[in-house]
A and B are shown apart, each in its own frame.
Chain A
């Protein structure tokens, strides 16, 4: 149980900056996921917490104690590595007991503790095995037991699930979540997989190009991303380029590359000037796609449909191709020459086919807008 503070953490390798100005308070007992594409500095950040990398500048404290200058073996942190890094010449039990041996725990005690940990990760009875003979999932469990055995202040997980196949990975995510609840310790988990972060995390920290862009609960970062990068990274979306043509107190009217003028409702006094370039994000889950019964009556450049004062937006296009993905079906639609996509659940048997005219609709409230510098516009 412990709190970790990173303040203005920075890591440079020669001229390249791997981690830049990362500051975050990791709460006691939470599971924080550092999420980002490869090369975003998330692993380096984790390794600095472990003491395996020395920060170029900045400070790390654990429970208020400055550990920045302590080496890895002096810190009571424990890492589960991506390739698990089990000791190949030691038995499974010796692996799990290793940290206790380094802490001079008497032999009988560490044996008991190691066996209990193996039991905890459902690897009881494997103590005498040679770790090189285990499967990926089993190695993963042993590595977890080895790290938990020392009762660390914080458990650091460096993409430990990425070498497992999809099904096993999903099972392990649930199990990891349970273990976290069970042991009540602080976990920092690094991953590049959004689904994994959403499944596991109490809070998600999103990193890109060495910077920690946003830290928040999963719903918060998903529904209110700090910038366009996060919106694009956290799931599929349609980015539509547009220009603000008319700004009123309660709405922003934009001319889009779709060839339609759309309306973005505002809570009042939108932070946009006329003529500003905006990138709109239309997530597939807010779009509904229907066979367009009224296709004949729709003209390409019509104003958005405003039914009884609400701000329903609609565009009309042609289905280009259909991608069946099991639980969902994805339709790629050409709207006045610009491609966008919408989804239906796979259960919807009323399938659309390529070449069909369709109408895509959404609530104006569900659209996010970003400035050219990536920041989100408050509407």
Chain B
């Protein structure tokens, strides 16, 4: 019997040992490094470039005047009433789409949760199915569906529910429907992922103790899936306020993203940058409000 411990001095063992020697926070940082590098490259650095341009003067020869520092672009954006009406319209779309997507998402996720077997698979598959087609094509598909001579109008007319066609498209209704269709799968999946971990007995216990169906959902299900609802709300809201494809394809209205594009076509990069920075601040404020409000109803996310 030999009692000498055998050591294999391979390079992997050496690396392992070195990692094991690190403090846990250092190790976590090491593991996050690729992600942090990626974020830095595609988000933080471009954002600072955008911020820098927003503080530049405009130029007749180039998209902005290099080396200049000025608040000219911010002044112009802040005093432009048209831009504020665009912001208002973008937020309106965002709020309407978010409310609809979270409500429908909640019902849909609940349906998936409660179903079994083939129905459950079909419901889940139907959520993912739209994601297999390009967003722009999916959005274009709403044109023939929603136009005054389109499918929806024909169905409503033939059922006698309408006496004359409604022009859903082009217009705000089409934008809301198109944008809802884009964000809904994410809302459903965000809510379902939390719901799937929930114990059905808890709902039964609530009913058993005298809670009606709607009341048991409000008292027991909603507070528990609040983390999922918060994620669904933030995704739906941020995406819809900044929506580009749906308003571009389904209406002639100006939204924030389309307006920024117009400014860029017009070679007004500082203004586009300033508008984007202001919009970003508004979005951050909105999301902070969403977190605070929804957390009161049982969410478990701490606002960092």
Contacts and interface: CB of A to CB of B under 8 A. Distances in A.
B211 A78 contact: no
A150 B224 contact: no
Contacts of A98: 206, 209, 211, 219
B41 interface: no
Interface in B67-94: none
A43 B263 CA distance: 68
Given A87-B205, A88-B224, A103 B210 contact: yes
B212 interface: yes
Contacts of B209: 73, 78, 98-99, 102, 146-147, 150
A52 B202 contact: no
B199 interface: yes
B248 interface: no
A73 B212 contact: yes
Given A83-B199, A88-B224, A89-B298, A99 B210 contact: yes
Interface string B189-208: 00000000001011011111
A12 interface: no
B207 A89 contact: no
A73 B202 contact: no
B205 to A, nearest CB: 4
Contacts of B202: 85-88
B207 A72 contact: yes
A310 interface: no
A79 B210 contact: no
Best-buried of B205, B207, B219, B220 by chain A (most CB within 10 Å): B205
A102 B210 contact: yes
Interface string A139-169: 0000000110010000000000000000000
B227 to A, nearest CB: 11
Contacts of B220: 87
B199 A78 contact: no
Contacts of B205: 79, 81, 85-87, 146
B150 interface: no
Contacts of B215: 102
A51 B206 CA distance: 12
Interface string B212-249: 11011001100110000000000000000000000000
B222 to A, nearest CB: 10
B210 A81 contact: no
A81 B204 CA distance: 9
Contacts, number: 64
Contacts of A150: 209-210
A88 B208 CA distance: 17
Contacts of B207: 51-52, 71-73
Nearest to A146: B209
Given A52-B204, A72-B204, A83-B199, A89 B224 contact: yes
Nearest to B299: A89
A50 interface: yes
A73 B220 CA distance: 14
Given A88-B224, A89-B298, A83 B201 contact: yes
A78 B201 CA distance: 13
Nearest to A74: B210
A242 interface: no
B206 A87 contact: yes
Interface residues of A, number: 23
B208 A50 contact: yes
A77 interface: yes
B199 to A, nearest CB: 6
A180 B211 CA distance: 25
Best-buried of A71, A86, A87, A146 by chain B (most CB within 10 Å): A87
Contacts of A78: 208-209
A63 to B, nearest CB: 17
Contact of B211 (A52, A79, A102, A146): A102
A52 B208 contact: yes
B208 A72 contact: yes
A89 B223 contact: yes
Interface in A36-71: 50-52, 71
Contacts of A79: 204-205, 208
Contact of A77 (B199, B208, B223, B224): B208
Contact of B199 (A73, A85, A103, A146): A85
Nearest to B203: A85
Contact of B210 (A52, A73, A86, A87): A73
Contacts of A102: 206, 209-211, 215
Contacts of A103: 210
Contacts of B219: 87, 98
A89 B298 CA distance: 7
A124 to B, nearest CB: 21
A226 B216 CA distance: 43
Given A102-B209, A103-B210, A150-B210, A85 B204 contact: yes
B298 A73 contact: no
A83 B204 CA distance: 12
Contacts of B216: 73
Nearest to B298: A89
A81 B208 CA distance: 10
A50 B207 CA distance: 10
B224 A81 contact: no
Interface string A103-122: 10000000000000000000
23 contacts: A52-B204, A52-B207, A71-B207, A72-B204, A72-B208, A73-B207, A79-B205, A81-B204, A83-B201, A85-B202, A85-B204, A85-B205, A87-B202, A87-B206, A89-B298, A98-B209, A98-B219, A99-B209, A102-B206, A102-B215, A146-B209, A147-B209, A150-B210
Given A72-B208, A87-B219, A146-B209, 19 more contacts: A50-B208, A72-B207, A73-B209, A73-B212, A73-B216, A77-B208, A78-B209, A79-B208, A81-B205, A83-B199, A85-B199, A86-B205, A87-B205, A87-B206, A89-B223, A89-B224, A89-B298, A98-B206, A102-B215
Interface of B: 199, 201-202, 204-213, 215-216, 219-220, 223-224, 298, 300
The 4 closest A-B pairs by CB, nearest first: A102-B210, A99-B209, A85-B201, A85-B205
